[in-house]
Amino acid sequence: MDICSVTPTYNFITNLQIIKMQKNSKLSTIALIAFTSFNVFANIENLDNDRVWDVKNVDDRFVWYRVPGQTIWGHRYGFIKDTSNCENDMFFIEWSSYEDIKKHEGKVVAMTLENEQGIQANIKPLLYYVDNFTRIMQVGFFGEDQSHYTTTRAFELFNKESNIVTVSIDDSFDNFDIKSDTFITKGFNDARRKAALSCRKLASNLTLMTS
């Protein structure tokens, strides 16, 4: 696999900024979780096509584009752009659980990605923060893939050439009550373009404010 020139920059995202990201959509997410039925057997023929990619500005510095899970709305698969370099796409996963996952914070958690064609990739993202989303639910924030697969051209093609991607957490990591979810990757390219445009606009505004 050819390695892109882009390198991971998750260290720019502090815990406080993560909390701001999460609170930005917290109420709407709680409502959606409350009224969402589980779709455990998601496949190409049985998808909730309303669960599409959204693009959102956060804290006047970051733009995320992400898609909710087919099984659990509180699972999100996506990327973040930082206005310091809008060409970067920082891999990012949110994973909610009603079990206590705090003990895994700061650890590398092995995951497997698989698309509808049966093509698989093993990744090792870092669970670098766990937020007490409500009194009974936590949300883990993953990024900075230690396997470096998500910074390769192969991963970009993996998303472009797939309609769905299933993410599975390794069985050795307990306390994740649901360890697998499927995400629609159709719309990835459009979301990425919109995120890049929003990022450049934010970067221009920041330049004007500081000049």
Per-residue pLDDT reduced to its tens digit, 168-186: 999 999 889 999 999 999 8
pLDDT of residue 206: 67
Say yes or no to pLDDT of 207 above 90: no
pLDDT at 35 over 80: no
CB 54 within 8 A of CB 107: no
The more confidently predicted of residues 11 and 72 is 72
> Phi, psi at residue 51, to the nearest 5°?
-90, 80
Q: Cβ distance 91 to 108 under 8 Å? A: no
Query: Measured between alpha carbons, how far is residue 121 from residues 25, 59, 78 in Å?
Result: 30, 32, 16
SS3 21: helix
pLDDT-based confidence at residue 152 (cuts at 50, 70, 90): confident
Q: Are 94 and 33 in contact (CB under 8 A)?
A: no
User: Average pLDDT, stretch 6-25?
Assistant: 48
Contact 182, 164 (CB under 8 A): yes
- Per-residue pLDDT tens over the stretch 90-101: 999 999 999 999
pLDDT tops 80 at residue 32? no
Q: Which amino acid is it at 135?
A: R
Q: Give residue 209's pLDDT.
A: 56
Please state, in angstroms and rounded to a whole number, the distance separating the CA atoms of residues 139 and 133: 6
| Higher per-residue confidence, 132 vs 6 | 132
What pLDDT, on a 0 to 100 scale, did the predictor assign at position 60? 84
Share of the chain above pLDDT 90, in %: 55
More confident of the two residues 209 and 53: 53
Average of pLDDT values for 46-61? 90
Rounded mean pLDDT, 10-34: 47
Split at pLDDT 50, 70, 90, the class of 126 is very high
**The model's pTM:** 0.79
pLDDT bin (cut points 50, 70, 90) of residue 153 is confident
- Check pLDDT > 80 for residue 121: yes
Burial class of residue 3 in the structure, from the number of CB atoms within 10 Å of its CB (0-12 exposed, 13-18 middle, 19+ buried) = exposed
